[in-house]
Amino acid sequence: MISLRRQFATLLLVLLAALWLAPRAHAAAGAYEAELPADLPTARDMCALVPCKDVFPGASHFSERKGQPPYVEAYDNDSAQKKLLGYVMLSTDITDTPAYSGKPVVTLIGMDTQGRFVGVKVLKHSEPILLLGIPESALLKFNAQYLGKSVADKIEVGQSRPDENVLGLDAISGATVTVIAQNQVMMASGSAVARQVGILAPTVREPARYAETGKRLSWAELVQQGTVQRLRVLPEQVGLDKGPDPFIELWFGDLNHPDIGKSLLGDNGWNNLRLQLKEGEHAFFIVRTGGKESFKGSGFVRGGLYDRVQVRQGADSFTFRDLDALNLYGIEAAGAPSYNESVIFIIRSSAFSAAYPWKLSFLGNRVDRATGTRSFTSFDTPYWLPAATLQGGRPTINEPDAPWVRVWKSRAVEIALFAVLLVAVSVVYALREKLTRLSTHKNKWPVNAFKYSFWALSIGWIGFGAMAQPSITQVLTWFHALLFQWTWSLFLSDPFIFLFWIFIIVTVFLFGRGLFCGWMCPFGSLQEGIYKIARAVGLKRFQAQLPQKWHDRLKWVKYAVFFGLLVVSMFSMGLAEKLAEVEPFKTTFLVGVLNRAWPYSLFVAAILGVSIFIERPYCKYICPLGASLAMPSTFRWFGLKRKQDCNSCKACAVGCGAQAIDADGRIDHRECLHCLDCMVLYTDTKGCPPLAKERKRREKDGLEITPIGANGYFIPIHPATVQDQISAKAAQGPDPRMPTTPAHPAHKTGSQGLRWIWLELVDHLWPWSREGWASGRGLQIAGFSLAIAASVAWVMTALGTLSSGAIIGWWFGWSVYEVLIRLSGKRYVKDGPWWQGQYRQAGVMDMLSYVGFKNLLIGAALFLAIKAVVGLA
């Protein structure tokens, strides 16, 4: 036992050393969240701020920004006889295609006069997988594949298809979405500039043919029709404090269409506008109805450039100078709002067509409130004339598939097989009782054949093959998305992880975390496999469990790690992602221990080395992912079976590798990994001591050996009862069939229908009780005051006077206090399906899990409600 303690102490020292050294191994984080010059998006001399020479070898002089979208020209020298070599462009000047992180990869691109890529440099990215999982050099190698290829080529991620003239690029394993998005950025950027300078033929769109009715529409009718749209930016979207007023609110719409133009400007106004437009030119209006920010921008003063707004249609961008602007003297549509800034812009390019969709972009700076850094961003509102306003309706648009759609299509067969595997695991586990009844303590193969097969598939195919190891970073991302902004495309971008999480969420609430953690987690299966193999090759005598008292203390470490990461993520998601390296998953499956800095490899080696002697040490003591799944496991609908004799018989507890069975025979489903060994003993007439005793008695007396019933005892003979099979000691002990002592809330006894629903709502939303007032009046009063303050905080948030971070702080504080209030009075939680009335006494972790999960859902619902109300306003 002393040796075992030394092994575990050594593991802790190694883990601490590795975690301390790991960040230093990545001290040079390269382009990850690199700070770029604040004026980079607008500076005329772009190459004074970024290394243009790095992407255009041989060039020594670069022009100022020109064109739209902007680019710079690269020359061999700055003399009068200088030769044009090509062009350099900044990707975010042209497209803001998001990568896996939801943010664009800022890329500097060089292209010669023939349209061939000559250089690519990533200036900034927000992909944590390229910081802590996959080396950033992998993205550099991916980008190097573009060199020498032409913007006119059809380039896709994947295999080349000569028969379709497709040039393939090798993807980055584990970062498929990132490279697909990067390919779209490269091709969109190169094509946009190539069309401007004549390398590629310009975009040709059929001009709009308007369907005129002669009807004059009110402002409300124009808005309902969709021919007038709103672009609204809130203060918090640009990093400012919430307020009652928007940062800016703009209304805009088409003016070339006779019905729309005459409704807005009147007959005379529209006719005067038409006289000022040349053939192929297009006019639209903008008015500002809210906010103090001007849409004309600072550039309007210096040089007549409106640098805050532009129109985008496909890969083309259209900006406006003072010569492209006309005064808007008034809007004649009935019910039009008042406004304090207005303009009519003219798009003079023949590439624009009102028949096709376009969007108005408001360009601005966003301030990161955590770091104070400023980043350039755009806020877009799409616009497309309704089909009824166009002769022949809207044209057919063949938009390229979103990156996540392309991933699903390219791996359809693998995805289908993975879905079949997850369904198979669920079905097998649902039939676990049939399998355990076929097994005995000496022959567990009816269970183990499935379990070992799933372990092998989990390690080989899911882990090393599909690289679909779930991670705590995904939990943190989903937590933030639930509270702030849910983006389906972000979660659909990795189909294996998406399907895996559906499986995890469903099975955690049905059975607890043990099905995923114990059967399907690649790293957990790897640990278990090492432990089993070590036992098979003769190392069993060195294997042991930690003493139960140490296990009961150390199991809380994983919860501390999880809560620590969750708190850090509220202040800095980037730092939380770095600290999440406490998970060894990326090193093991995505990159490989031989491809990472030695502290990471040492970390993995230490865990897997200790796994030879201790069963699943990482799962039991460190894993924050396991901790995050353990909390909702408190409310699993179906648990493993127990019988009354389990409170005095220790057979199952002795053989429990997860050490999840306490001295009273109760199973802690937050710790149980569902090995099913206890379920095998549950019906084993030779392995289960109470059953073996009853079997021997019946054999001795010549009585019938009846089958084992659902309650875990022999089916009684004639009028005899099961109670005859329960020992006197067990009968007087606690009921092990529930994790804690059953509870019976008196106020819910006999309630049904609407009264039951009402009492349920009161139970969830009103933590106070008579018992609580009697035991701690001061605590209850203080809690009541805090509840009022938290409610006021939510109202202030809805009114825009309290920030999201502040309300989260208030809500967290109230949640902690609610735990204390309930523990002093309503100290019970449900066990099993929520629609049933089975209650039990709550421990501290039970109440933390209940209140934390409940208030997370309530908080998310309130956030969504506030956003919906603000959006309608």
Mapped to the 3 state alphabet, what secondary structure does 494-542 carry?
Answer: CHHHHHHHHHHHHHHHHHCCHHHHHHHCHHHHHHHHHHHHHHHHHHHHH
**Average pLDDT, stretch 389-402?**
86
**Per-residue pLDDT, 41:** 83
Q: Which residues lie below 8 Å from residue 412, measured CB to CB, with a gap of 6+? A: none
Ranges 121-130, 329-338, 439-448: which has the least confidence: 121-130
Range among 80-89, 526-535, 787-796 with highest mean pLDDT value: 526-535
* Residue 88 confidence class, pLDDT cut points 50, 70, 90: very high
Residue 36: pLDDT over 90: no
Does the pLDDT value for residue 454 go beyond 60?
yes
Mean pLDDT of 510-522: 95
Asked if pLDDT for residue 485 goes beyond 80, the answer is: no
Tell me if the pTM is above 0.85.
Answer: no
pLDDT of the residue at 43: 87
**Secondary structure of 685-733 as H, E, C letters:** CCCCHHHHHHHHHHHHHCCCCCCECCCCCECCCCCCCHHHHCCHHHHHC
pLDDT at 465 over 60: yes
pLDDT at residue 660, rounded to an integer: 94
3-state secondary structure of 124: strand
Residue 20 has pLDDT above 60, yes or no: no
ω into residue 202 within 30 of 0, thus cis?
no
* Per-residue confidence (pLDDT) for residue 134, from 0 to 100: 64
Cα 354 to Cα 230, 281, 481: the distances in Å are 18, 10, 35
Q: Is the pLDDT of residue 414 over 90?
A: yes
Q: Give all strands of the β-sheet with 839-841 in edge-to-edge order.
A: 742-743, 839-841, 828-830
pLDDT tens-digit map of 607-651: 999 999 999 999 999 999 999 999 999 889 998 999 999 999 989
Task: Specify the pLDDT at position 27.
Answer: 38
pLDDT computed for residue 131 by the predictor: 55
Residues 131, 105: Cα–Cα separation, whole Å: 13
pLDDT for position 23: 46
Confidence of residue 493 (pLDDT cuts 50, 70, 90): confident
CA distances from 185 to 166, 190, 259, 355, 678 (A): 17, 8, 38, 25, 55
Distance CA 255, CA 389 (A): 13
Which residues, in sequence order, are CB contacts of 630 under 8 Å at separation 6+? 513, 558, 559, 670, 671, 849
Predicted local confidence at residue 171, as pLDDT: 76
Sort residue 401 into left (φ over 0), alpha (ψ -120 to 50) or beta.
Answer: beta
**Tens-place pLDDT, residues 364-374:** 777 765 555 66
- Cβ contacts of residue 470 below 8 Å, gap of 6+? 497, 500, 501, 504, 516, 521, 625
- Comparing 36-50, 74-88, 481-495, 709-723, which segment has the lowest mean pLDDT? 481-495
pLDDT, one tens digit per residue, over 673-702 is 999 999 999 999 999 999 999 999 999 999
- Tell me which of 61-75, 394-408, 828-842 is least confident: 394-408
Confidence of residue 22 (pLDDT cuts 50, 70, 90): very low
Kindly report, residue by residue over 244-258, the tens digit of the pLDDT. Answer: 789 999 999 999 999
Residue whose entry in the numeric block shows the structure tokens 């290829």:
149
Q: Please give the pLDDT value at position 29.
A: 47
Measured between alpha carbons, how far apart are the two ends of the chain, in Å?
A: 67
Q: What proportion of the chain, given as a percentage, has pLDDT over 70?
A: 91
d(CA 619, CA 627) in angstroms, rounded, equals: 9
CB distance 558 to 624 below 8 Å = yes
What confidence tier does 598 reach under pLDDT thresholds 50, 70, 90?
A: confident
CA angle, corner 187, sides to 142 and 193, nearest 5? 130
pLDDT of residue 3: 53
Lowest mean pLDDT among 409-423, 529-543, 823-837: 823-837
Pairing, β 374-383 against β 828-830 = unpaired
Residues in the chain: 873
Distance (Å, whole) CA 92 – CA 107: 7
For residue 54, what is the enclosing H or E element? helix 52-55
Residue type, 574: G
Q: Which residues pair with 750 in a beta bridge?
A: none
User: Which of 55-64, 82-91, 458-467, 731-740 has the weakest average pLDDT?
Assistant: 731-740
What is the per-residue pLDDT for 169?
Answer: 86
Average pLDDT across the chain, whole number: 86
pLDDT of the residue at 274: 94
Determine the pLDDT at residue 847: 93
Q: What pLDDT score does 400 carry? A: 72
Is residue 715 over pLDDT 50?
yes
**Which residues neighbour 138 within 8 Å (Cβ) at sequence distance 6 or greater?**
130, 172, 175
Q: Say how many C-beta atoms besides its own lie within 10 A of residue 157's C-beta.
A: 22
- Inform me whether the pLDDT recorded for 521 exceeds 80: yes
Burial of 594 (0-12, 13-18, 19+ CB in 10 A): exposed
Question: What mean pLDDT do residues 726-732 have?
Answer: 82
